[in-house]
Amino acid sequence: MTRVLVANRGEIAVRIVAACRRLGFEAVLAASSADADSLAARLADRVLVIGPPQPSLSYLRPELLVQAAVMAGADVLHPGYGFCSEKVELGEMLDEAGIALAGPRPDTLRSVGDKNTARAVAVAAGVPVAAGAEVKDLDGAVHAAREIGYPVLLKAVHGGGGRGIHLVEHEDQLPTLVDQAAAEARAGFGDGALYLEKFFAAARHVEVQVFGDGEGGCVVAGDRDCSVQRRHQKLVEECPAPGIGPATRALLHDSARRLVSHLRYRGAGTVEFLVDTTSDPASATEPATVVFLEVNARIQVEHPVTEEAFGIDLVAAQLRLAAGLHHGLPDLPAVPPAHVIECRITSEDPAADFRPTPGRITAVEWPRGPGVRIDTHVHEGYLFPPYYDSLLAKVIVRAHDREAAVDGMLAALRATRVEGVSTVTPVHEAVLSHPDFRAGGVTTQWLPAAWPPPLEEAPR
């Protein structure tokens, strides 16, 4: 029997264990002491405690994860998302130990692991990119910004998850923001390298789900719109991206496929793009301006949107490929037969600038019914810890068209009850109720139009 070490926590650990069950694989969980009695631990066949609650002493230590995999006699390690999922060192250590990674090869992770090298790979593959440049110091940033033209985005080269990004509208902001961004990059990613990129003020964030066979073959599993964002963090995702015409969709999908083939990419990944709405994304004949953002060389938080839209299991496909089997994914149409929306329910207080609210979950009730999926690790009585991200659950709704999916999600949100901690459910209700969102095609700068709402219109 194939044995899998699940090297993560929370809802994604529960999701990986479920995929192991589906395949008949054994699941061993590598958990911190804070997660030793979590839902994932209860569902797994075995649990190995790898360290204390602090991620820097447990989940972020690739050597501890590999030691656990060796101790467990694992054939495959699945890293989930976040933590060590894109660490080259983890893949290299697993190669030395003779254990398969449910993810890309170390050389691929190195190629797309920072914004500079990823951009170079995209250019080599013929993928459209925005004007940009790595900057070493303030003088370099000033010169590059003048060449690119304001406004620009200042980013950590090794950043991810929306962190370490600053908008620079005028040159006099650069001295402060370069120092601040470099300090954040060193603290968050261990490297203060920075990157400047052209900022598109009216852009949508559209990503393409890919799955590579490691030999240049690629399954493109549609696209997702992730434009509802707060501080570059995604709140709502949907598949397919609304208001995208055949020409722009073909450019997005073909660009992602070229990149996967060029890299000989192995496993699940996401190629992220900006779509400039000053051109016409809905045109049937002329594509909008599309520029490459980055490759997420792992499973994404929002992968259930694609799974429900196409009726596939991306996590099981990852495990199958890592175990030496065919991934089992079929060829898929460009547009799925259903429309799916996901809302990330986090333990944050939107009335207090989204302050995290860890604590005891005293009551919880999730929506049920046809087309409703809940990915979560929380339950009544669960002590939501302060050490990790604030994701409580993902509410996913599938319907025959977008209007029905929006209505279904609103009903699902209103049926959701979590007590003991604050959640962002009111924000999602405001977004889903807003006429702009219902019309489709909002940009990454849109959210302040919906939240906070006028007091007289505030949702319950």
- In this prediction, residue 192 carries a pLDDT of 82
- In this prediction, residue 12 carries a pLDDT of 98
Give Dmax over CA atoms of the chain in angstroms.
62
What residues act catalytically? Answer: 298
Per-residue pLDDT band for 159 (boundaries 50, 70, 90) equals low
Would you say 267 and 315 are in contact if contact means Cβ atoms under 8 Å apart?
no
pLDDT(189) > 80:
no
pLDDT(248) > 90:
yes
Average pLDDT of the chain is 95
Torsion of CA 119, 124, 130, 136, to 10 degrees: 40
Residue with tokens 């192991």: 20
- In this prediction, residue 456 carries a pLDDT of 53
Would you say 373 and 396 are in contact if contact means Cβ atoms under 8 Å apart?
yes
Would you say 58 and 51 are in contact if contact means Cβ atoms under 8 Å apart?
yes
List, edge to edge, every strand of the sheet that includes 26-32.
46-51, 26-32, 3-6, 76-78, 100-101
- In this prediction, residue 458 carries a pLDDT of 52
Per-residue pLDDT band for 157 (boundaries 50, 70, 90) equals confident
Q: Which two structure tokens, joined as six digits, stand for 42? A: 């209860």
- In this prediction, residue 141 carries a pLDDT of 92
Q: How many CB atoms lie within 10 A of CB 204?
A: 25
For CA atoms 104, 291, 124, 110, give the dihedral sign. Answer: negative
pLDDT(183) > 80:
yes
Helix 425-433 to helix 402-414 angle, to the nearest 10 degrees? 150
Distance of CA 391 to the CA centre of its chain: 12
- In this prediction, residue 301 carries a pLDDT of 97
**Tens digits of residue pLDDT in 41-78:** 999 999 999 999 999 999 999 999 999 999 999 999 99
**Tens digits of residue pLDDT in 331-366:** 999 999 999 999 999 999 999 999 999 999 999 999
pLDDT(160) > 80:
no
Residues 211-235, mean pLDDT to the nearest whole number: 96
Distance of CA 372 to the CA centre of its chain: 20
- In this prediction, residue 152 carries a pLDDT of 93
Q: Give pTM, 2 decimals.
A: 0.92
Q: How far is CA 325 from CA 170, 220, 260, 359, in A?
A: 53, 19, 19, 42
Would you say 259 and 187 are in contact if contact means Cβ atoms under 8 Å apart?
no
**Tens digits of residue pLDDT in 412-459:** 999 999 999 999 999 999 999 999 999 999 999 999 999 998 765 555
Structural element, H or E, at residue 85: none
Per-residue pLDDT band for 460 (boundaries 50, 70, 90) equals low
Residues 237-248, mean pLDDT to the nearest whole number: 98
Query: What percent of the chain shows pLDDT beyond 90?
Result: 87
